[in-house]
Amino acid sequence: MRIPANKNLANKHVLLGVTGSIAAYKAAELVRRLRKGGAEVRVVLSAGGAEFVTPLTFQALSGNPLHSELLDTGAEAAMGHIELARWADAVVVAPASANVIARLAQGRADDLLAAVCLATEAPVAVAPAMNQQMWAHAATQDNLRKLRERGVHQFGPAAGDQACGESGLGRMLEAADITRHTAELFDTGALTGLRVLITAGPTREAIDPLRYLSNRSSGRMGYAVAQAAVEAGARVILISGPTALATPPRVERIDVRSAQDMHEAALSRAPGADIFIATAAVADYRPAAPAQQKIKKNTDTLTLQLTRNPDILADVAALPDGPFTVGFAAETEKLLEHAGEKLARKKLDMIAANHVGEGKGFEAEENALSVFDASGVIELPQAPKTQLARQLIALIAERYHPGS
Ligand code: C5P
């Protein structure tokens, strides 16, 4: 069974730009459908768009405040154009009038939507809507060619009866079609058919039946990597320590607690995997002899004897004909040195290193990674973990299929 493409919208941030066209009324239905697919939607309404639909409609339907002004200090303080540009996983301009298409082609930054489109690294798509003569004009066609050459996606237009009484090309696609195309933006296909095994989250090492040793890993990076791998077409198994996170759509999740459980789960599945990505913050040590009953506080000091946990990543990397292995290195100092050493010692194909501590890494929403392999290092600058995960998956896919 083919899984409906709009499953890919789950948890995505879609910034919808609504510009001046009679088709703006269809954008209301589009907001509803994008949200139904699981996306969070914010709307930027251009001055032209506000002539056709009221800001209140979009505010109510999106469940978020509307964005319209570039230089409104109050609005910029709440969420400025740069923050909006970073927030977006995709920017969809629907309807895109001939005017906004021309403005985007020129790279203007004199209104909020144009500025966001310039500032974002997310994919941008336009769904043209205009009179058929305006559509056919060489200026419009030149502008669109320019946008496509720069990687802007074009959804439609369709042909048919137009509001102006004419008939021809220039009608905006229906909301259902734009929703489907938006979902497809996240379907990169770079890992189609591959089986990806991922570990994530912390482990808990029992001291007694009530207490454990653990760490501050939230699991967010690993869950984001699992989601990005699914979007890229992989079949994903996520072996997760205890976290508060929801399982990303289409990911098979196996819950474990201790490092030993995680080791067993990973080693039993690794032979069937093409790629193994170890994002888990596995406890290095566990209490050697966890107490069978609750430990009583009847001594002034208490000594716990710890014993080393197995290294899941190194054991998977050592498998004959094992998967392509990717490790993570969370370091508080000497990042490059330690990551390089780990790559060699654990015989990994790739390692993604990040600084932790001082608000970075473990519990943060954003991260930055230095990714090493035999050919050198690539820096992935600070970004939300979901976006960083997609960049990492793209790098892994590139290295897994060299030369493709
Ligand atoms: O040696 P270090 O713990 O810094 O290595 C980190 C990498 O090794 C991470 O990818 C982590 O998931 C993995 N690891 C593991 N099993 C362990 C310890 C670390 O898989 N026992």
Q: What is the mean pLDDT of each run of 10 residues along the chain (404 residues)?
A: 55 95 95 95 95 93 91 72 93 97 96 96 95 96 92 90 84 95 88 95 98 95 95 95 92 97 98 97 98 96 97 97 95 86 94 78 77 91 87 94 62
Pocket lining: 311 vs ligand 1, CB cutoff 6 Å: yes
179 with 208, same domain: the answer is: no
Does residue 2 lie in a domain region? no
Residue of 269, 285, 312 to test ligand 1 pocket, by largest number of atoms within 8 Å of CB: 312
Q: Is the CB of 259 under 6 A from ligand 1?
A: yes
Expressed in angstroms and rounded, the spacing between residue 202 Cα and the centre of ligand 1 is: 11
327 lines ligand 1 (CB under 6 A): yes
Spacing, Cα 244 to ligand 1 middle (Å): 21
Distance between CA 386 and CA 402 in Å, rounded?
A: 24
Give the residue from 184, 207, 233 where a domain finishes: 184
C-beta of 309 in contact with ligand 1 (< 6 A): yes
Give the distance (Å) from ligand 1 centre to CA of residue 209: 26
Q: How many domains does the chain have?
A: 2
Report how far residue 23's alpha carbon sits from residue 104's, in angstroms, rounded to the nearest whole number: 19
Expressed in angstroms and rounded, the spacing between residue 276 Cα and the centre of ligand 1 is 12
Other C-beta atoms lying within 10 Å of the C-beta of residue 212:
19
151, 184, 217 — which closes off a domain?
184
Our answer on whether the CB atom of 328 is closer than 6 Å to any ligand 1 atom is yes
At 389, which CATH number? 3.40.50.10300
Query: Which residue has its alpha carbon closest to ligand 1 atom 17?
Result: 311
> How far is ligand 1, taken at its centre, from the CA of residue 211, in Å?
23
Calculate how far, in angstroms, residue 313's C-alpha sits from the geometric centre of ligand 1. 6
- Pair (274, 358) in one structural domain: yes
Token pair for 100: 């906004």
Query: Does a structural domain hold residue 215?
Result: yes
What is the spatial distance between Cα 326 and Cα 348, in angstroms, rounded to a whole number? Answer: 6
In the residue annotation, 117 being an active-site residue is answered as no
Can you tell me which atom of ligand 1 is nearest the CA of 283? Answer: 21
8 A C-beta contact, residue 224 and residue 287: no
Residue 395 in domain? yes
Specify whether the CB–CB gap between 276 and 318 falls below 8 A.
no
Q: Whose CA is nearest to atom 13 of ligand 1?
A: 313
Q: 137 is in which domain, residue-wise? A: 7-184
Question: What is the rounded CA–CA span in Å between residue 393 and residue 404?
Answer: 15
Instruction: Give yes or no: residues 297 and 327 share one domain.
Output: yes
* DSSP strand pairing (235-240 vs 376-384): unpaired
Three-class SS of residue 347?
A: coil
Same domain, 286 and 154: no
* β-bridge partners, 370: 353, 379
pLDDT score, position 76: 67
d(CA 261, CA 290): 15
Structure tokens given for 165 = 């009484």
Phi, psi of 330 (to 5 degrees): -100, 115
Q: How many helices (H) and strands (E) does the chain have?
A: 15, 19
Q: Are the C-beta atoms of residues 95 and 137 closer than 8 Å to each other?
A: no
List the structure tokens of 22: 């009679």
Contact 369, 388 (CB under 8 A): yes
**Domain-located, residue 220:** yes
The pLDDT assigned to 167 comes to 84
In this structure, are 263 and 389 located in the same domain? yes
Nearest-CA residue for ligand 1 atom 5 is 329
Are 210 and 175 found together in one domain?
no
Residue 208 shares a structural domain with residue 118 = no
What 3-state DSSP class applies to 171? strand
User: Residue 271 is which amino acid?
Assistant: P
- First-to-last C-alpha distance (Å) of the chain: 28
Residue 270 inside a domain? The answer is yes
The single residue of 47, 164, 318, 374 carrying the catalytic annotation is: 164
CATH of the domain at 116: 3.40.50.1950
Query: What does the pLDDT read at residue 3?
Result: 37
217 lines ligand 1 (CB under 6 A): no
Asked which of 121, 156, 184 is the last residue of a domain, the reply is: 184
Do 144 and 269 fall into the same domain? no
Same domain, 110 and 232: no
Alpha helices by DSSP H, listed for 120-214, are 132-136, 138-149, 175-184
Strand-pair partners of 125:
92, 153
Flag whether 189 is in a domain.
no
Which residues pair with residue 212 across a beta bridge? 206
CA distance linking residue 347 with residue 372, whole number of Å: 12
State whether 50 and 179 are in the same domain: yes
Same domain for 146 and 212, yes or no, is no
The token pair that represents 139 in the structure block: 């200026």
Indicate which atom in ligand 1 lies nearest the CA of residue 328: 10
Query: Is any ligand 1 atom within 6 A of the Cβ of residue 94?
Result: no
Q: Are 396 and 275 in contact (CB under 8 A)?
A: yes
Indicate if 271 and 134 belong to the same structural domain: no
Cross-strand partners of 325? 276
Beta bridge partners, 237, equal 197, 252
CA 369 / ligand 1 centre spacing (Å): 16
Instruction: Looking at the CA of residue 326, tell me the nearest atom of ligand 1.
Output: 10
Q: Would residue 159 count as lying in a domain?
A: yes
Quote the CA–CA distance of 69 and 49 in Å, as a whole number.
13
Q: Does residue 138 fall inside a structural domain?
A: yes
